[in-house]
Chain A
Amino acid sequence: MAYDYEKSIRPGKLPHIWCPGCGHGIVMKGLIRAMDACELDREKTTIVSGIGCASRLPGYLDACTLHTAHGRAAAFATGVKLTNPEMNVICCGGDGDGTAIGGNHFIHACRRNINITYVIMNNYIYGMTGGQFSPCTPTGMKASTTPYGNPDPTFDISKLAIGAGATFVARTTAAHPREIDKLITQGIKHKGMSVIEVLDDCPTSYGRRNKFRSVIDMMKRLKKDAVPAKAAAKMTPEQLEGKFLTGVLYHETDKPEYTEQYDALIKRVQEGA
């Protein structure tokens, strides 16, 4: 039987704005399956995003949804979660939104280890504004503002999240849809900041300019270059050249969660008074 996505979608909100072949829709389906798997009460779930094609995702979902300003999702979400720690808070958005303009909020949410699940859709490009390069555009590739090839080095979002202090970090791709919901589910169940990086594709603003013949071509590349973290442990650096790791990349349970820390502080202050 086909999966029932419809009960999670707001009536009348489809069709979505995404281009045919855009990876963001695959991520949305994965998120819905994960929310179902975790049996999230949608009235007690706030989904927060910034600005960009990826950030349009919350508008389609039947929950409390907050479409903020470019880059600010993590900071808005921090206010929601700290005010109401019972709320399930999920952030979603693009690579540009989360790591360029919103990079500061992203790393500090990781540092605080606040119990938010951040699903970041990395299509290596500013899709919405027509394909300018992002901090995740691979060096040498073409974007509308790198007509001679991108001179910038790139961010590794998952490493950034681990370095900044997130306690559950995982990566997968839009070419591995089953793994998307599996990892988001683990992220939601994890107590602390969880980051799930999903590499996806933007055929319109990245694919065409970089001579991918089709969406299938882009998907094939995601499949070919993905190496499960467990398998990578047995591979040589030469074999791993040009590849990226997938699966759970970091998981730690000892670091205190932020809202619990703050509630403990309140208790301490009130009892001391």
Chain B
Amino acid sequence: MAKKSALVQGNQACAQGAIYAGCKFFGGYPITPSTEVAEEMSAMLPKVGGKFIQMEDEIGAIASVIGASLAGAKALTATSGPGFSLKQELIGYACIAEVPCVIINVMRGGPSTGMPTGPGQSDVMQARWGTHGDHAAIALVPQSIQEIFTETVRAFNLAEKYRMPVQVLFDEIVGHMRERIEYPEPGELEVIDREAPTAAPGEYKPYDASKGLVPPLAAFGAGHKFHVTGLNKAEDGFPTTKAELVAAEEVRQIQKVECEEARADIESNEEYMLEDADVVLWAYGSSARSARYAVNELRKEGIKAGLFRPITLWPFPVKRTAELAEQAKAIIVPEMNLGQMIYEVERVAQNKCIIDGVHRVDGDPLNPGQIMDKVKEVI
């Protein structure tokens, strides 16, 4: 039997992916261009016995999501620019308290209200460093409707597995574009549920990392009485200011994502025509679609161009980017911002090749011609 398919919008596909992953709670606040995620969730969640709530603001939305997750539900919120800024304090809370949740950010321009209906990619650094304090970050950047579905499923998996907030960033173009999607059958994509603790009631320590960098999380109401706080804490969950405990916990929370094993699990990239590439287009999200088109056109003109497309933006693909800097004459970073990921590429490339950017913040997508012009200018 042929798979079920449909013509859907990116934001709808995102909500459908969330339901596939077993999401049972959505807390949100409407904002363009992400609103359709909330609308779709409000329609679908009751059907699967889940809960949808429109909160009073984006801070309340992420707060309700963290509360829901602690009560045992897979939980989601979706927002755009200004709302993403408002959520930052509590994204940090989810990091330090280690509460799984998924945050969708359908990116628009900015700062402030900016251009609400135009696309942008200017929140990619905020996704890494938006909340205060040292912390790890996971951010996924799908480029198509099909990929929004699968990456949303993967975001839930990573959130539950690594016990932390996971962000999915796409922009207004893919959020509002319609493409055909083929729905995976139930069971076809892996769906990970959080590991339940084996400790007896009374013995459970929510941050006991003796068996691995990610301690299992109990649900409130499931028999364990425990404490959750945003303060630095010891393995029993209670606040501590003991220097060695504070530092060790912070390091563990970063290591659980950035150790080699976790990176290999979390990182995901697409490579196109890179084998002999002199020029690498390093592009993500909808900009990568223009970049891929540019690669094909450049090849027709005899220029050996290739595309490196991170699907996991954070943690940053350090190893592959460094290798490409050794191989290529130039890495070009097209972004719908005035230069953000390019700095990370520069840092990793360590002057091994030319690095240059192609930028656009006028509300229109980057077009392949612009990217091709830059390539020709550089080589």
Contact = CB atoms under 8 A, between A and B. Distances in A.
Interface of A: 10, 13, 42-44, 46, 48, 58-59, 62-69, 72, 75-84, 86-87, 104-105, 107-108, 262, 265-266, 269-270, 273
B230 interface: yes
B93 A69 contact: yes
Given A46-B221, A69-B230, A79-B68, A269 B46 contact: yes
Contacts of B66: 68, 76, 79
A interface majority secondary structure: helix
Q: How large is the interface on B (under 10, 10 to 19, 20 to 34, 35 or more residues)?
A: 35 or more
Contacts of B238: 13, 59
Given A105-B56, A266-B49, A80 B220 contact: yes
B228 A66 contact: yes
Given A67-B230, A108-B56, A273-B47, A82 B225 contact: no
Which 8 residue pairs spanning A and B have beta carbons closest together? A79-B67, A79-B64, A75-B63, A83-B71, A75-B60, A79-B68, A76-B67, A67-B229
Contacts of B93: 68-69
Contacts of B64: 75-76, 78-79, 82
11 contacts: A64-B226, A75-B55, A79-B25, A79-B63, A79-B66, A80-B70, A80-B220, A82-B64, A108-B56, A266-B49, A270-B47
B221 A87 contact: yes
Nearest to A268: B46
B90 interface: yes
Contact of B68 (A44, A59, A82): A82
Given A78-B63, A270-B49, 13 more contacts: A43-B221, A46-B71, A67-B228, A67-B231, A69-B63, A69-B230, A75-B55, A75-B60, A77-B67, A78-B53, A80-B67, A83-B72, A84-B72
B90 A65 contact: no
A43 B226 CA distance: 9
Contacts of B227: 10, 58-59, 65-67
A43 B220 CA distance: 8
Nearest to B52: A262
Contacts of A82: 25, 51, 53, 64, 68
B239 interface: yes
B223 interface: yes
B375 interface: no
A83 B51 contact: yes
A105 B226 CA distance: 24
A171 to B, nearest CB: 24
A13 B27 CA distance: 34
A110 B27 CA distance: 17
Contacts of B203: none
A10 B202 CA distance: 11
B369 interface: no
Contact of A80 (B71, B230, B231): B71
B220 A84 contact: yes
Interface in B41-75: 46-47, 49, 51, 53, 55-57, 59-61, 63-73, 75
A58 B69 CA distance: 19
B47 to A, nearest CB: 6
B89 interface: yes
Contacts of B68: 79-80, 82-83
B24 interface: yes
Nearest to A70: B89
A68 B239 contact: no
A47 to B, nearest CB: 10
A42 B71 contact: no
A65 B69 CA distance: 14
Interface string B283-303: 000000000000000000000
B56 A86 contact: no
B47 A46 contact: no
A79 B72 contact: no
Among A13, A84, A273: residue with most chain B CB under 10 A: A84
A83 B67 contact: yes
B25 A83 contact: yes
A247 B65 CA distance: 35
B114 interface: no
B230 A87 contact: no
A107 to B, nearest CB: 8
B18 to A, nearest CB: 15
Contacts of A68: 63, 66, 93, 230
A104 B228 contact: no
Interface string B219-252: 0110111111111000000110000000000000
Contacts of A13: 238
B303 to A, nearest CB: 52
Nearest to B56: A108
B111 interface: no
B4 to A, nearest CB: 17
Contacts of A83: 24-25, 51, 67-68, 71-73, 75
A18 B46 CA distance: 44
B43 to A, nearest CB: 9
